């Protein structure tokens, strides 16, 4: 799964990296410990008077389906398994018409060391997984939900897949990374064939992502700052 990640790039850098046309004024600031339900920068493409416009907007991380009673369900829908996005009611429609990218510096996963602490709880070591350079582009879906007071709530989810061999030793799941060669097609609002959309999702090669252990401070949402991604010695 992807339960925490870091995104600290300047909006102008993300504009250049993802060919964005419009940047929202209310984007969240940099964070090295993004937690579920927080607002995150998302790249999406919408048709405006028949012309596709690529936008960088803030969305809540944790998808809230249009049929949900309230936004609380979003905390349980931060990830969408690629194996079921075409069949699950919460994701099926969004796969055809509301695909997006979630830029990131990298993401965190916790490795089960097989040991226990003094209270008998499993000891897990966090690792930071990231590209050698440039932002990571995590595949996502987004949705609109209207509250009883007619307020719109925009939310998103990260698509996950089985981890590659190199990363599987840390955790069995990983975010689906969208290669630069297919990003335009993935964001294309005129692509409504869900089978074709799924075919664009290919597991990234193991050698393209780097990993190193980081401080257990990242386990608390109260902690934030660039030091969280610094390598530590075990």
- Residue 225 Cα to chain centre, angstroms: 19
DSSP string, 45-112: EEEETTEEEEEEEEEEES---TT-SSGGGGGG-SEEETTTTTTSHHHHHHHHH-EEEEEESEEEEEEE
Query: Contact, 77 vs 61, CB < 8 A?
Result: no
Please give the pLDDT value at position 164. 73
| Spatial separation of the C-alpha atoms in residues 208 and 76, rounded to whole Å | 29
Domain edges within the chain: 4-229
Please give the pLDDT value at position 81. 96
Please give the pLDDT value at position 1. 67
| Spatial separation of the C-alpha atoms in residues 28 and 30, rounded to whole Å | 7
Report the Cα–Cα distance between both ends of the chain, in Å, rounded.
23
Q: Looking at the predicted structure, is the pLDDT value of residue 208 above 90?
A: no
| Spatial separation of the C-alpha atoms in residues 66 and 62, rounded to whole Å | 13
Query: Contact, 176 vs 160, CB < 8 A?
Result: yes
Query: Contact, 144 vs 154, CB < 8 A?
Result: yes
Q: Looking at the predicted structure, is the pLDDT value of residue 226 above 80?
A: yes
Q: Which residues carry out catalysis?
A: 2, 109
* Nearest by Cα to 62 from 88, 30, 90, 95: 90
Q: Looking at the predicted structure, is the pLDDT value of residue 56 above 70?
A: yes
pLDDT interval class at 167 (50, 70, 90): low
pLDDT, one tens digit per residue, over 192-205 is 999 999 999 987 66
Q: Looking at the predicted structure, is the pLDDT value of residue 114 above 90?
A: no
Query: Contact, 164 vs 125, CB < 8 A?
Result: no
Q: Looking at the predicted structure, is the pLDDT value of residue 99 above 90?
A: yes
Query: Contact, 91 vs 157, CB < 8 A?
Result: yes
* CATH 3.40.50.300 at 4-229, yes or no: no
| Spatial separation of the C-alpha atoms in residues 177 and 102, rounded to whole Å | 10
Please give the pLDDT value at position 102. 98
Per-residue pLDDT averaged across 116-124, rounded?
Answer: 89
Q: How does strand 31-34 pair with strand 173-175?
A: unpaired
Per-residue pLDDT averaged across 23-39, rounded?
Answer: 96
Tokens of 107: 């993401």
Q: Does the model's pTM come out above 0.85?
A: yes
pLDDT interval class at 166 (50, 70, 90): low
């Amino acid at each position: 799964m992807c339960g925490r990640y870091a995104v600290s790039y300047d909006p102008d850098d993300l504009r250049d990296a993802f060919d964005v046309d419009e940047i929202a004024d209310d984007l969240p600031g940099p964070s090295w410990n993004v937690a579920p339900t927080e607002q995150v920068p998302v790249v999406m493409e919408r048709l405006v008077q028949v012309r596709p416009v690529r936008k960088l907007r803030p969305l809540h991380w944790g998808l809230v389906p249009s049929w949900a009673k309230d936004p609380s369900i979003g905390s349980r829908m931060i990830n969408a398994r690629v194996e079921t996005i075409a069949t699950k009611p919460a994701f099926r429609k969004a796969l055809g018409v509301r695909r997006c990218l979630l830029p990131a510096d990298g993401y965190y996963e916790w490795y089960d060391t097989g040991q226990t602490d003094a209270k008998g709880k499993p000891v897990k070591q966090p690792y930071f997984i990231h590209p050698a350079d440039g932002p990571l582009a995590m595949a996502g879906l987004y949705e609109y939900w209207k509250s009883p007071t007619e307020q719109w709530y925009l939310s998103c989810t990260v698509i996950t897949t089985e981890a590659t061999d190199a990363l599987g030793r840390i955790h069995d799941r990983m975010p689906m990374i969208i290669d630069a060669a297919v990003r335009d097609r993935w964001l294309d609002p005129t692509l409504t064939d869900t089978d074709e959309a799924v075919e664009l999702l290919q597991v990234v090669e193991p050698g393209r992502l780097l990993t190193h252990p980081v401080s257990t401070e990242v386990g608390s949402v109260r902690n934030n700052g660039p030091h969280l991604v610094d390598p530590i010695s075990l």
